[in-house]
Amino acid sequence: MSFHSSPAPDRGFRRLGMVSGVLGVGLAVVQTAIDPSYPDDAAKAIGQASLSHFLTFSRVLDMTAFLLLLVGVSVVTTAFPPGRGASWARVSRTVYAVSASAGAIATMLVGSLPDVASSWADAPAALQPGYVAAYDALGDVSGGIFAVSWAALGLFGLVFAAAVWRSEELSNVVAGLSAASGVALVGAVVIGVGLQVPIAFVLLILGLLLSYVVIVASGVRVWKLAGAGAREAALVEPVG
């Protein structure tokens, strides 16, 4: 991978990507840890959601994480040299953008649930069933959009693995982790939608965690390569 033509801007660009990716992963992990859980029954869930807007705060973190991760992935996939893995990297960047966009839309829908719950709490008893139905419908729709996001993220893992395998700069270990992430996420969506068994949740968490490892490892590696390229360019640059 050549960084010699413009070392300083490249280093800053790569630094932006690495920092953005790491922060995005950190926020995603925090959001997952603090994300409140609600009963499956919409009538019970809406009552619990009406007591707090913490779900909205959790989703703000989620939205921020999506944005930061998208910036990080965009920088990493731009760093591939022409030929070999570059085309695969461009495809993976597009697929990740689809995943992030779908995730952001689903997150906004979930973030609106506390508002629906507050309206339910203030509504007359005769109107409350309508708010429960709306709450349940928004939950179902957001779940479907999240499934699209996870499936696209799984496809990103597989395509990015192909890009890394065709590149000489990034480790095949990263490629293997990316492929494993893709298989786990696609498997989670297929099993979750088709069979609805608990193993789907395990695969989902595994796939997400592996994708975070891939993003951070790739960002750190690309930044190091940019720094090495800048030092090499400084050594060969003629004096005077």
Residue 234 has pLDDT above 60, yes or no: no
Does the residue 1 lie in any domain? no
SS3 content of the chain, % helix, strand, coil (to 5): 80, 0, 20
In total, how many domains does the chain have? 1
Alpha helices in 35-127, H assignment, sequence order? 42-49, 54-78, 86-111, 113-122
Residue of higher predicted confidence among 7 and 17: 17
Distances in Å between the Cα of 11 and the Cα atoms of 7, 21, 134, 231 are 6, 15, 49, 11
Q: Write out the residue range of the structural domain in which residue 12 sits.
A: 7-236
Q: What is the mean pLDDT of residues 200-215?
A: 94
Dist. CA 198–CA 46, nearest whole Å? 24
Write out pLDDT tens, residues 154-189: 999 999 999 999 887 788 899 999 999 999 999 999
Does the residue 93 lie in any domain? yes
Half-sphere CA count of 120, side-chain side, radius 13 A: 25
* H or E segment to which residue 128 belongs: helix 128-165
Does the residue 43 lie in any domain? yes
Does the residue 207 lie in any domain? yes
User: How long is the chain?
Assistant: 240
Residue of higher predicted confidence among 79 and 165: 165
Provide the whole-model pTM: 0.85
Q: Are residues 135 and 117 in contact, defined by beta-carbon separation less than 8 angstroms?
A: yes
Write out pLDDT tens, residues 96-134: 999 999 999 999 998 888 889 999 999 998 999 999 999
Residue of higher predicted confidence among 181 and 60: 181
Q: What dihedral angle (degrees, nearest 10) is formed by the CA atoms of 179, 143, 146, 210?
A: -40
Q: List phi, psi (to 5°) of 170.
A: -100, 150
In this prediction, residue 196 has a pLDDT band, given cuts at 50, 70 and 90, of confident
Does the residue 2 lie in any domain? no
